[in-house]
Structure 1
Amino acid sequence: MDQAGEKGAANRRAYLRIEGVTKRFDDTLAVDEVSLEIGEREIFALLGSSGCGKTTLLRMMAGLETPDAGRIVLDGENLAEVPAHRRPTNMMFQSYALFPHMTVEANVAFGLWQERPRLTRAEVEARVAEMLDLVQMQRYARRKPHELSGGQQQRVALARSLAKEPKLLLLDEPLAALDKKIRQRTQLELVNLIERVGVTCILVTHDQEEAMTMAGRIGVMNEGRLLQVGTPGEIYETPDCRFTAEFIGEANLFHGRVADGALAGADFPAAIVLPPEAGLAEGDEAWVSVRPERVSLSRAGAASAGVSEPADCNAATGEVADIAYLGSHSVYHVRLANGRIVIASVPSVHWGDAPPPTWGDVLRVAWFAPDGVVLTR
């Protein structure tokens, strides 16, 4: 989503309010006092690994599960008082759940025939035509699901979900069944369709790239708790806990205690210089997270002799232990003298015309203090 979309989402009123929602299954606490506000027409992603509670939370919004505590309020209406089949929500499942014996148009029309008061045949046909036009599936209207590709089935499922004009669209791993190339293309298509319709949307996914591409804001979940909410940029650049730092992308994480204003005992050859705004007291336990692209690499000994390091630079030398060549950039795993691995992501053009370093080469790794994020949990 573009920056304008992110800014707009932040300024919208709270259209959906999740207030202290908790859900247990026997002795398992699946959702632990989650509170969240989502704006009207916002695309919001719940991101986390399998079993973190994100799908359970989604199912409670849909009415397929009942909270043990807390409330879910949509556009001022407490959904606890509304049965699942009467809720102004629609859920698109990972499997798409299309009826195999029905045509595309019959699948899209199915929910419309259940509406009360009843719609006329002309109204249903007009709505179906509108939805198929929206997802560009008009010419496949008479086909059965098994005659469609995975991407086409996904479009039909979306058309069916939007046909009843829900106030809230719930997507449960909607692109998981697609291969990588089709998934990447479909992500942006899906966002454009949702924005054209103007429906509020909650997306559940374990794929961080999908969440960051599609959503204006992301909520990171782990073990039933909502750990951090923010834009994709905020979640990646300024994680507020170790789980988020490690779950979203790669991170070099150094642990230690504050001594003389630096982080000591952090598996690094010297105490790590902290950013000025760290705000930690002497003896505090902390972690410093450094993204691989923030770590610079140079050939050991390439710096001019007698030139001292900047005061806010953390630097050491190590041996290349592994390399992943990814075309536009390479990821280097550099083993320091104490055995600690530091990961650095380097653009392929970084080495110029010289051959890039290879396994066993000695390199200097470095980052400036402001490029590290200080974490206390």
Structure 2
Amino acid sequence: MAEVVLSHVSKSFGAARAVRDVSLTIPDGAFVVLLGPTGAGKTTTLRLIAGLERPDSGDIAIGGASVVQDMPAQRDVAMVFQQYSLYPHLSVRDNLAFPLRSPVINMAEPDIAKRVQAVADALRIGHKLDNKATALSGGEMQRVSIGRALVRQPRIYLMDEPLSSLDAKLRADLRVELKRIHAELGATFLYVTHDQIEAMTMATHVGVLDRGGLVQFGTPRQIYVDPVSTYVASRLGQPRITLLPAGTFGPGAPAGATQMGLRPEHIVIGEGQPATVRRVERLGDQTRLHLRLGPHEIVTLADPHTPLATGDSIAIRPQTPLWFDASGTRIQG
């Protein structure tokens, strides 16, 4: 495994700047998630590290050595794509073994058999090794796709939204599997997604991208609790943070603040200003309340067994909210 360092990396496609002056350190053994919407620069950053794109400026180092001039095969990285990219005419065993039989690796067949079996067992598809790839379910095919990266034991694993085409249960199952595999291997993972649940549950570090730029990097907890802007604050958290004018609940905003951000834990129910319950969403382990406070909509959480119903009136007040200026930049309150 190896540390990966991007230093002032930029990449444009014509007039479109896909990556803007990104400096980022992916620690050895970390599980780093790049988070952002479509067009934020996540996949381009991944492809730059893999060598599938070359930066217009800046440097990329793996294990302390620049790889900008290296071909993809020389970088010793493995990439998992959103689509499975399996060989349909081959068995699961041969799909997993394929990278190890390449001229670059050229591993002996007995060693290939041992490694394929170990990876298949780790991914819980050992009983499928003799099946054709076309005979697998979507979740099993994605496990094989991930397994083809794992067998190589590269310096870093690059994953481009590998779970986004799966159903909710399979995504949840494979999130657990990937985190377990990461812990067992002590490997370095760089994972791209727009899904905040994947970022919160799997990452040791999250990098939030916006229009090609890295706007914040830290642990999931740091990003959630101490966001640098409204953009970052809106990337993590369910329900999403509610943004209101700074004076909604009266005076008390710090100098320069024009907006307050309220997460569910920032809202005290039972005292303060009156709000009307517009909708109650009962989700089993939690209940979401959709409230109207004057002209403003607020979403918060209540006890799963709350008797509140649409049309009820409750009192709410803020507690240690987040403050932002007119540009959306965080102000410490």
Q: TM-score, normalised by structure 1?
A: 0.81
Residue 320 (str. 1) matches residue 269 (str. 2): no
1:76 pairs, out of 40, 52, 64, with 64
Residue 288 (str. 1) matches residue 260 (str. 2): yes
Residue 372 of structure 1 is matched in structure 2 by 321
Name the amino acid aligned to 1:72.
I
1:342 pairs, out of 281, 295, 298, with 298
Residue 161 of structure 2 is matched in structure 1 by 173
3-state SS in 1 of match to 2:39: coil
The answer to whether the 8 Å contact 2:249/2:317 transfers is: no
Shift, 1:129, TM fit? 2.4
Residue 57 of structure 1 is matched in structure 2 by 45
Provide the rounded CA distance (Å) in 2 between the counterparts of 1:117 and 1:94.
25
2:6 pairs, out of 1, 9, 18, with 18
Residue 55 of structure 2 is matched in structure 1 by 67
Residue 270 of structure 1 is matched in structure 2 by 250
Residue 37 (str. 1) matches residue 17 (str. 2): no
Shift, 1:72, TM fit? 0.9
Residue 79 of structure 2 is matched in structure 1 by 91
Name the amino acid aligned to 1:342.
I
Give the structure, 1 or 2, with the largest relative contact order (CA under 8 Å, sep 6 or more): 2
Structure 1: runs of 5+ lacking an equivalent: 1-12, 257-265, 275-279, 304-314
2:100 pairs, out of 95, 107, 112, with 112
Name the amino acid aligned to 1:364.
A
Provide the rounded CA distance (Å) in 2 between the counterparts of 1:15 and 1:102.
34
| Two-structure CA RMSD over aligned residues (Å) | 1.9
1:363 pairs, out of 294, 301, 314, with 314
Provide the rounded CA distance (Å) in 2 between the counterparts of 1:33 and 1:113.
38
Structure 2: runs of 5+ lacking an equivalent: none
Residue 308 of structure 1 is matched in structure 2 by none
The answer to whether the 8 Å contact 2:9/2:22 transfers is: yes
The answer to whether the 8 Å contact 1:293/1:346 transfers is: no
Q: TM-score, normalised by structure 2?
A: 0.92
1:228 pairs, out of 195, 207, 216, with 216
Provide the rounded CA distance (Å) in 1 between the counterparts of 2:102 and 2:226.
47
2:288 pairs, out of 310, 318, 331, with 331
Shift, 1:297, TM fit? 2.2
Shift, 1:14, TM fit? 8.2
1:253 pairs, out of 222, 243, 254, with 243
Shift, 1:244, TM fit? 1.2
Provide the rounded CA distance (Å) in 1 between the counterparts of 2:99 and 2:308.
60
3-state SS in 2 of match to 1:56: helix
Number of aligned residue pairs: give it: 324
Name the amino acid aligned to 1:340.
H
| Rg (Cα) greater in structure | 1
3-state SS in 2 of match to 1:317: strand
Shift, 1:212, TM fit? 0.8
